[in-house]
Structure 1
Amino acid sequence: MSDAVPVVALITYPRFSPFHFAVPYLVFSAELPTQPLFDLKIVSSGAPSLVAERALTVQPDGGLELTKTADILIVPGWHDLNEPPAPDLTEALLSAHARGAHVVGLCYGAYVLAYAGLLDGKRASTHWMAEPDFSQRFPNVTLDMNALYVEDNRVITSAGTGAGLDCSLHIVREYYGHQIANKIARTLVIPPHREGGQAQFIEQPIASSTQDAQINLLLDYLRENLARPHSIDELAKRTTMSRRTFTRHFLKATGLPLGDWLVNERLQRARELLETTSLSIDKIAELTGFQTSVSFRQHFKKKCQISPRGWRQVFGKSRAAK
Structure 2
Amino acid sequence: MHIVAVLALDQVIPFDLSAPIDTFGWAKLPEGGAAYADAHLDGRDAYEVRVCAVTPEVRAASGAFTVRAPYGLKALAEADTIIVPGVADPTAPLPPGVAEALRAAAANGTRIASICVGAFVLAATGLLDGLRATTHWRAARDLAERYPGVSVDPNVLYVDNGQFLTSAGAAAALDMCLHMIRGDHGSAVAAHAARMSVMPLEREGGQAQFIVHDLPPAPAGATLEPVLQWLEANCGRDLTVDEIAAHAGMSTRTLNRRFREQTGTTPLRWLHRARVRRAQYLLETTPYPVERIALQAGFGSPTAFRERFRRVVGTSPRAYRKAFQAARV
- With normalisation by structure 2, the TM-score equals 0.90
2:16 maps to which residue? 20
Aligned length: 314
Work out whether 1:191 is the aligned partner of 2:222.
no
Specify which of 48, 59, 62 is matched with residue 51 of structure 1: 59
Work out whether 1:299 is the aligned partner of 2:298.
no
CA 1:238–1:19 in structure 2 vs 1: closer, same or farther (change >3 Å)? closer
- Counterpart CA distance in 1 for 2:133 and 2:231 is 39
2:38 maps to which residue? none
Conserved? CA contact 1:78–1:112, under 8 Å:
no
- Counterpart CA distance in 2 for 1:212 and 1:268 is 23
CA 1:122–1:252 in structure 2 vs 1: closer, same or farther (change >3 Å)? same
User: How far does residue 132 in structure 1 lie from its aligned partner after superposition?
Assistant: 1.7
- Counterpart CA distance in 2 for 1:49 and 1:242 is 66
- Counterpart CA distance in 1 for 2:212 and 2:49 is 36
Q: Relative contact order (C-alpha < 8 Å, sep 6+): which is higher?
A: 2
Amino acid at match of 2:300: Q
- Counterpart CA distance in 2 for 1:214 and 1:125 is 38
2:51 maps to which residue? 42
Q: How does 1:204-223 map to 2 (within 5 A)?
A: 204-210=213-219, 213-223=222-232
Work out whether 1:101 is the aligned partner of 2:97.
no
Helix, strand or coil: the match of 2:76? helix
- Counterpart CA distance in 1 for 2:52 and 2:192 is 27
Specify which of 65, 74, 78 is matched with residue 65 of structure 1: 74
User: How far does residue 11 in structure 1 lie from its aligned partner after superposition?
Assistant: 1.0
1:140 maps to which residue? 149
User: How far does residue 233 in structure 1 lie from its aligned partner after superposition?
Assistant: 2.3
- With normalisation by structure 1, the TM-score equals 0.92
1:260 maps to which residue? 269
- Counterpart CA distance in 1 for 2:238 and 2:221 is 23
- Counterpart CA distance in 1 for 2:115 and 2:136 is 9
1:158 maps to which residue? 167
CA 1:36–1:238 in structure 2 vs 1: closer, same or farther (change >3 Å)? closer
Specify which of 3, 10, 22 is matched with residue 6 of structure 2: 10
Coordinate RMSD, CA, aligned:
1.7
Work out whether 1:274 is the aligned partner of 2:283.
yes
Conserved? CA contact 1:214–1:239, under 8 Å:
no
Task: Encode CA deviations 1:257-308: one digit per residue, 9 max, x unaligned.
Answer: 1111110011111111111112221111111111111111111111111111
Structure 2 unaligned spans of 5+: 30-41
Matched residues, percent identical? Answer: 38
User: How far does residue 224 in structure 1 lie from its aligned partner after superposition?
Assistant: 2.1
- Counterpart CA distance in 2 for 1:237 and 1:66 is 69
Work out whether 1:83 is the aligned partner of 2:79.
no
2:36 maps to which residue? none
Work out whether 1:168 is the aligned partner of 2:164.
no
CA 1:34–1:77 in structure 2 vs 1: closer, same or farther (change >3 Å)? same
Conserved? CA contact 1:145–1:198, under 8 Å:
yes
